[in-house]
């Protein structure tokens, strides 16, 4: 799932000076419209895909781990190349790179809709991620380049409000398309939006470049970040099916770990690094990013499995599952202004301890419902508590990141923080998938024995284990036996889901602890040499 709680690219690229003066007043509404529609494409696509996954898994006969790749292939390239996309806009023109991202994203969306196999869909989603890495940073860069400082805050506020509306509408719209038409429409909806954005950009958006147009690009950093994330993610997703001792899994894990080390070494030496390591010497910045890593791992990884539970186990429609998180989003939207004042009133540490602690309670509540749970009494309270916790956290977290480094590097810092949050979700989905598979397999074996399944039925279900709750029932068995087997499968998924939610709660508590220990301590920005914007 696209990052819920922050709009896509939130503050990711308000980081570079621009050579162009703010655009004429008549062009500003068009610039804002292009930024809103462009970022909405990426945001809607991320939320819609999670709701569409059960239908995709069923129609393409995909395993649960292949379904993970449908999400991960997109998120992987988006997370790894997000900062590179912003730098490319500074070097070659923000409008040009933004438009290129929109074109690539739209073409890949058509490729997703035309995919006849899950492998083709995974490849098309990877290309979508590359397009997203170009257009997501560009949306805020256009606003930053074309609005004067006095107008910029209001423009970003309008953009943020529109992103909140998109967050609320996207999953419901996606669920409706899946239920009444086909999952392919969840991707084709991007095409008319892309055409509108390209027309606006071509006719009404002036070109601009960053003040670092001659500083070069951290290509090695981008390649190593992609290899590091990709290797580790591949190992964790494929291990349940291939085994940890398989050559492919061990090689991927080795590549991921070696690339991670090489990335750090390169970033220490390259002139214009993706991740300026000097920033990590700033106590509040390091603490805020550790909190982000832990909390957004819980959020991204946990909410990946939530729609699967609602649709495949609880029997909800895709439309209802898409609407299930509406209270979460509306709470975030309603309380954003109030939460933005918390740092001024209490300092950063208190809200960054209290907010994740409340979120941990929300995750723990999601671990309670069993099979056949009622949404209003079982899931809604958890969603509300989780939304309240994230509302208390997000604005203070962004403020802490921006304040930690001073104005010259605030944009770089927020871009790094956004990339960390996305990488956290990528890694969490992969790791949680291993936990889910382990618990599911253990509980299913016991459930089949308790259900009195025949040897043939048990063997058939065992062969379907890789589909988790999407497992098909053996052909030719009576209704009572099929119902008993389905209950065993559903109970196994819920058991795994509970483990995942409890791990999410633990991660949220650890993020609160990291805030308590690190925020407000350590060197301040005044004593740290902060790199100039690229």
Strand ranges for 367-431 from DSSP E? none
The pLDDT value recorded for residue 376 is 95
Identify the sign of the CA torsion 24, 38, 74, 495: positive
Lowest pLDDT segment from 197-201, 302-306, 446-450: 446-450
**Torsion of the alpha carbons at 299, 302, 306 and 309, rounded to the nearest 10:** 180
**340, 503 contact by CB (below 8 A):** no
**Torsion of the alpha carbons at 202, 28, 47 and 400, rounded to the nearest 10:** 130
pLDDT average, residue stretch 20-34: 71
- For a pLDDT cut of 70, what percent of the chain falls above it? 89
The pLDDT value recorded for residue 374 is 92
- Residue 94 structure tokens: 């923000």
Lowest pLDDT segment from 119-123, 176-180, 188-192, 207-211: 207-211
Q: Check whether 16 has a pLDDT greater than 50.
A: no
The pLDDT value recorded for residue 20 is 45
Q: Check whether 28 has a pLDDT greater than 90.
A: no
Question: Using CA atoms, how far apart are residues 103 and 198, in angstroms rounded to an integer?
Answer: 8
Lowest pLDDT segment from 47-61, 208-222, 476-490: 208-222
Who has greater pLDDT, 525 or 426? 426
The pLDDT value recorded for residue 521 is 66
Residue range 165-175, pLDDT digits in tens: 776 787 888 88
pLDDT average, residue stretch 405-418: 71
Question: Using CA atoms, how far apart are residues 193 and 40, in angstroms rounded to an integer?
Answer: 9
Q: Check whether 295 has a pLDDT greater than 60.
A: yes
**217, 34 contact by CB (below 8 A):** no
- Residue 495 structure tokens: 């058991």
The pLDDT value recorded for residue 17 is 39
Q: How confident is the model at residue 5 (pLDDT cuts 50, 70, 90)?
A: very low
The pLDDT value recorded for residue 533 is 45
The pLDDT value recorded for residue 339 is 84
Question: Using CA atoms, how far apart are residues 445 and 489, in angstroms rounded to an integer?
Answer: 10
Residue 271 has a CB neighbour count (10 Å cut-off) of: 9
The pLDDT value recorded for residue 14 is 37
Question: Using CA atoms, how far apart are residues 289 and 262, in angstroms rounded to an integer?
Answer: 21
């Amino acid at each position: 799932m696209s990052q819920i709680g922050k709009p896509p690219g939130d503050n990711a690229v308000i980081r570079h000076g621009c050579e162009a003066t703010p655009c004429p007043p008549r062009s500003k509404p068009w610039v804002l419209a292009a930024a809103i529609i462009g970022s909405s494409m990426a945001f809607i696509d991320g939320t819609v895909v999670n709701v569409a996954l059960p239908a995709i898994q069923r129609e393409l006969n995909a395993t649960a781990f292949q379904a993970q790749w449908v999400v991960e292939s997109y998120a992987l390239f988006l997370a790894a190349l997000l900062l590179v996309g912003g730098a490319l806009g500074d070097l070659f023109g923000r409008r040009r790179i933004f438009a290129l991202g929109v074109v690539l994203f739209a073409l890949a969306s058509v490729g997703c809709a035309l995919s006849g196999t899950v492998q083709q869909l995974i490849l098309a989603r990877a290309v979508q991620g590359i397009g997203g890495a170009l257009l997501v940073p560009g949306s805020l860069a256009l606003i930053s380049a074309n609005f004067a400082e006095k107008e910029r805050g209001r423009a970003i506020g309008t953009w943020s409000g529109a992103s909140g509306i998109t967050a609320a509408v996207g999953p419901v719209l996606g669920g409706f398309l899946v239920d009444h038409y086909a999952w392919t429409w969840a991707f084709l909806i991007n095409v008319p939006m892309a055409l509108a954005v390209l027309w606006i950009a071509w006719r009404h958006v002036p070109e601009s470049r960053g003040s670092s147009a001659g500083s070069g690009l951290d290509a090695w950093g981008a390649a190593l970040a992609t290899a590091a994330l990709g290797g580790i993610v591949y190992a964790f997703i494929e291990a349940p099916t291939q085994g940890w001792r398989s050559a492919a899994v061990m090689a991927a894990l080795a590549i991921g770990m070696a690339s991670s080390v090489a990335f750090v070494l390169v970033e220490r030496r390259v002139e214009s690094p993706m991740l300026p390591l000097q920033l990590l010497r700033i106590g509040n910045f390091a603490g805020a990013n550790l909190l982000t890593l832990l909390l957004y791992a819980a959020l991204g990884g946990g909410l990946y499995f939530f729609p699967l539970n609602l649709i495949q186990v609880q029997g909800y429609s895709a439309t209802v599952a898409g609407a299930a998180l509406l209270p979460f989003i509306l709470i975030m939207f309603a309380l954003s202004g109030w939460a933005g004042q918390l740092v001024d009133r209490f300092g950063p540490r208190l809200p960054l301890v209290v907010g994740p602690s409340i979120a941990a309670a929300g995750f723990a509540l999601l671990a309670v419902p069993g099979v056949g749970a009622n949404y209003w009494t079982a899931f809604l309270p958890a969603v509300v508590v989780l939304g309240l916790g994230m509302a208390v956290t997000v604005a203070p977290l962004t403020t802490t990141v921006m304040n930690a480094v001073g104005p010259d590097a605030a944009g770089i810092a927020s871009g790094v923080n956004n990339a960390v949050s996305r990488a956290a979700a990528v890694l969490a989905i992969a790791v949680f998938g291993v936990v889910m598979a382990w618990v599911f397999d253990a509980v299913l074996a016991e459930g089949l024995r308790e259900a009195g399944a025949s040897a043939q039925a048990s063997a058939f279900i065992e062969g379907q284990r890789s589909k988790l709750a999407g497992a098909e029932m053996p052909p030719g068995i009576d209704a009572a036996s099929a119902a008993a087997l389905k209950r065993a499968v559903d109970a196994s998924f819920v058991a795994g889901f509970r483990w995942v939610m409890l791990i999410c709660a633990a991660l949220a508590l650890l993020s609160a602890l990291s805030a308590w220990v690190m925020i407000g301590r350590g060197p301040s920005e005044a004593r740290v040499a902060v790199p100039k914007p690229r």
